[in-house]
Structure 1
Amino acid sequence: MDVDALRAITPGCKHRIHLNNAGAALMSQPTLDAMTAHLRAEAEGGGYEAADAARDRIGDAYAALADLLGGRPDEIALFDNASHAWQAAFYSLPLSAGDRILTSRAEYGSNVLAYLQAARRTGAEVVVVPNDEDGQIDTAELARLIDDRTRLIGLTHVPTSGGLVNPAAEVGRIARAAGVPYLLDATQSAGQFPVDVEEIGCDALCGTGRKFLRGPRGTGFLWIRESFLDSLDPHVAEIRSATWDGARGFTWVKGARRFETWENSYVNTIGLAVAVRQALDLGLEEIGKRAFQLGARLRALLDDIPGVTTHDLGSTRCAIVTAKLDGVDSADVVTRLAAAGVNVTATEPLDNQFDNEFRDVHPMVRFSPHYYNTDDELEYAAALVRDVK
């Protein structure tokens, strides 16, 4: 991987040290060029006309995401964010009183709220599977908790609050053996390292373009296994998702696009396609290797600073690194680093409800390097943290 060349086509690298890729990564110049060209085409020739002319590039977003995930283009639906993609699958699953949803302590805050709402509406039960000794979902306990009332296993692959990589494929093997639907939130993993739906064995997966895929904000996607579609009743019927039968009925369109709506930002769709193709060209194995190396390097640098403690869980840890400084507010650390040209953020307790119930560590400073960051940048950021402490 030619890091210097990748930085040269990433305009943001000239101005900041961007260690907030788990929030929104820096777009590359090719992605920016493709988006501005389409925006200009809309402005000069009309939005519908520009979309017609760009039909192949728009369609490539589905093909590229299918290549990324190991699925098929007709199993992909596009959304304006990952939360809407996840909700499209979750709220389409019929639930009744007594049904059980199994999830982990690492589940993302919006997903947790959806579980709680569904429980309030239907009488379903939310069961939080404990962690094992490494801090990841305890797969043995997951298998023990599954019973004939279990209707869903929902798992966040990589939490928003740390470097943990949950054992998604092992969860998939358990879900398949039990015949229980499995919904995976890959928002922080897609684009950071390989994510293959066949290897993992999930029935549905959501992700976003803005994070490690380096796409634009306002992009999300859902992959739905074809055999899972008949188990779902999409909660929105719309002219993109359904076809009127000429009387008083309708049929869903084929494939995952039954979860879409007609109006889209094709500027963002085209940008997403270019960003995903860039990741595929670089190779997710190589991206993952570098991301994990950068995460480990930064974690070691921070752990060497007296009064600074990292709090990442799991036997496998990725490029997201979280830390606390004794006696220093995490928000103040974020502000001090920003003033020195380094972008980081802080975890929010309300985004990590189940984790917050068991660990009194939030808010933490969250660092998230990506392949275009350098060792020099990590050392500079660590030196700033030492100075702040």
Structure 2
Amino acid sequence: MNNGIDVVRVRDETPGCQSLVHLNNAGCALPPAAVVDTTMDYLRNEASRGGYETQRDRAEQIAATYTSLASLIGARPSEIALADNATRAWDMVFYGMRLAPGDRILTCRSEYGSNAIAYLQQAKRLGVDVSVIDDDPSGQVDLDLLEKKLDDGRVKLVSMTHIPTQGGLINPAAEVGALAEAAGVPFLLDACQSVGQLDLDVTELRCDVLTGTGRKYLRGPRGTGFLYVRENAMDTFEPAVLDNGSAVWTSPTEYEMSPDARRYETWEKNFAAVVGLGAAVDYALDLGMDAIEARILALGDLLRRTLTGIKGVRIHDLGRSRCGIVSFTVEGFAPDDVKRVLAGNGVNVSVSKSTSSQWDLPSRGLASVVRASAHYYNTESEIEHVGSLVGGLR
């Protein structure tokens, strides 16, 4: 089931694999040594040369991060902007939209908590309407219902999460993008969990904006995120804030925004983390995103099958297509207790709570679920080991 990935090699290049079973990649993946070394080398250079001087000396290395991110998702470097995290990247676009009372935002039932809170805040501030599209029988966003809702001329934005934080669902983003494009409505895609896990192409997705993080499936440093803004949609989303990095003060009363996606950035950055992110993206590109996706999805399927065979375990993943994230509960055990038992045996998982998914988990009678998220460096024997630990809870 290697799917073209040299698992022995990538585990040797991942120090954390030697001491634990890490199935919390949807939270924060283990970085390869190349990412750690690149980040630390930049920091050491700053310590010996100075921050501004190192930025100047490493300008090509910093610029290469934009090029690598663009290559990862089929974009142009001029369509990429960097941020401190995926939420701030998303905020820069969403809060810059020119919304008015009565305008409508369409989103999905599996939407992430931070995004939902932003919608609700703008609903209170501006009087916009937030419409949550129901799921179809499989549990993914209902495309027929979405198409009908898009007939409403008040719709100004389609915004949704590609893969939710609370389960293995892969929403049909390309189909959503096609419907939004046909209706002439901008499409904002939160790809926080899919970047680095799935082989993405923004042309196929037909999104106007895509946001992602470095710390999850890309295996980059924490405190890194990015956004893609399609060139001909650049002026649709005026940045939420501007500073000396996103605009130039051209006269006492005038300024000019950057002509490309850098207008969504702020000037100050953790450049050591930026080049670390670039190293992480290059590592993924070297392995091949098609091979990465195939292995992660196969491991996710194996984990689901393994857990399904255990009495008292219930899988809660929805959708026609599912990824490497597996959500489950164990009868008689709170998800936090399952997490603690696994942690005591050297296995990292997470717990997804209803506070991050109020439109989804409560409607299914769930307050929280255990979230185990596989990556390509995990092994089949690790999956079997986790199955045996969960089975031992009975």
TM-score, normalized by length of structure 1? 0.99
| Match status 1:352 vs 2:357 | yes
1:202 correspondence with 2:231: no
Amino acid at match of 1:126: V
Q: Does 1:98 align with 2:86?
A: no
The answer to whether the 8 A contact 2:361-2:368 is kept is no
Choose which of 165, 177, 192 in structure 2 pairs with 1:187. Answer: 192
1:256 aligns with 261
CA distance in structure 2 between the aligned counterparts of 1:96 and 1:357, rounded to whole angstroms: 31
**One of 144, 156, 168 as aligned partner of 2:148:** 144
Once the 2 structures are TM-superposed, how far is the Cα of residue 206 of structure 1 from its aligned partner? 0.3
Q: Give the corresponding residue for 2:84.
A: 80
Cα shift at 1:113: 0.1
**Counterparts of residues 175-324 of structure 1 (less than 5 Å):** 175-324=180-329
Aligned partner of 1:134: which letter?
Answer: S
Q: CA deviation at 1:195?
A: 1.1
Query: For the residues of structure 1 that align with 2:240 and 2:71, how far apart are their CA atoms?
Result: 28
| Counterpart Cα distance in 2 of 1:178 and 1:362 | 36
Report whether the alignment pairs 1:3 with 2:7.
Answer: yes
Contact 2:139 2:319 in 1 (8 A): yes
**2:385 aligned with 1:380, yes or no?**
yes
What do the CA deviations read for 1:158-202 (whole angstroms, capped 9, x no partner)? 000000000000001100100000000000000001111000000
CA displacement at 1:272 relative to structure 2: 0.2
Query: Aligned ranges for residues 41-52 of structure 1 at < 5 Å?
Result: 41-52=45-56
Give the partner amino acid of 1:5: R
State the Cα distance separating 1:49 from its structure 2 match: 1.2
Partner amino acid for 2:134?
P
Q: TM-score, normalised by structure 2?
A: 0.98
SS in 1 for 2:158: strand
Contact 2:354/2:362 (<8 A) preserved = no
**CA-to-aligned-CA distance 1:238-264 (integer Å, 9 cap, x gap):** 001111121301111111110111110
Q: Distance in 2 between matches of 1:173 and 1:223?
A: 18
Query: Aligned pair 1:166/2:171, yes or no?
Result: yes
SS of 2:220 mapped into structure 1? coil
Deviations 1:330-360 (A, max 9, x none): 0011011001000001001110111134211
Residue identity opposite 2:155 in structure 1 = T
CA deviations 1:63-87 (Å, max 9, x no partner) are: 0000011011011010010000011
RMSD: 0.7
Deviation of 1:362 (Å): 3.1
SS of aligned partner of 2:318: coil
For residue 57 of structure 1, report the CA deviation from its aligned partner. 1.0
Residue equivalent to 1:126: 130
Q: SS state of the match for residue 273, structure 2?
A: helix
Matches of 1:276 and 1:247, distance apart in 2 = 41
| Partner AA of 1:380 in structure 2 | H
Q: 1:364 aligns with which of 353, 356, 369?
A: 369
What is the count of residue pairs matched by the alignment? 389
**Partner SS state of residue 82, structure 2:** strand
Structure 1 CA distance for aligned equivalents of residues 129 and 374 of structure 2: 37
Q: Bigger CA drift: 175-184 or 349-358?
A: 349-358
- Give me the whole-angstrom Cα distance separating, in 1, the residues matched to 2:220 and 2:30: 8
Gaps of 5+ in 1: none
CA distance in 1: counterparts of 2:225 and 2:372, whole angstroms: 23
Structure 2, gaps ≥5 residues long: none
1:291-318 Cα offsets, whole Å, 9 max, x none, are 0000000000000000000000000000
* Aligned-residue offset at 1:237: 1.5
Q: Find the aligned partners of 1:357 and 1:296 in 2 and give their Cα distance.
A: 25
Cα distance in structure 1, aligned partners of 2:225 and 2:329: 31
Q: In the alignment, which of 333, 338, 346 is matched to residue 333 of structure 1? A: 338
1:228-285 deviation per Cα after TM superposition (whole angstroms, max 9, x unaligned): 1112221212001111121301111111110111110001000000000111111111
Report the Cα distance in structure 2 between the residues aligned to 1:210 and 1:369, rounded to whole angstroms: 14
Q: Conserved in 1, the CA contact under 8 Å of 2:245 and 2:267?
A: yes
Contact 2:246 2:262 in 1 (8 A): yes
Q: Give runs of ≥4 in structure 1 deviating > 6 Å.
A: none
Q: Distance in 1 between matches of 2:237 and 2:158?
A: 15
Taking only the aligned residue pairs, the percentage that are identical comes to: 48
CA deviation vs aligned residue, 1:353-385 (integer Å, no higher than 9, x gap): 111342112311100010000000000011111
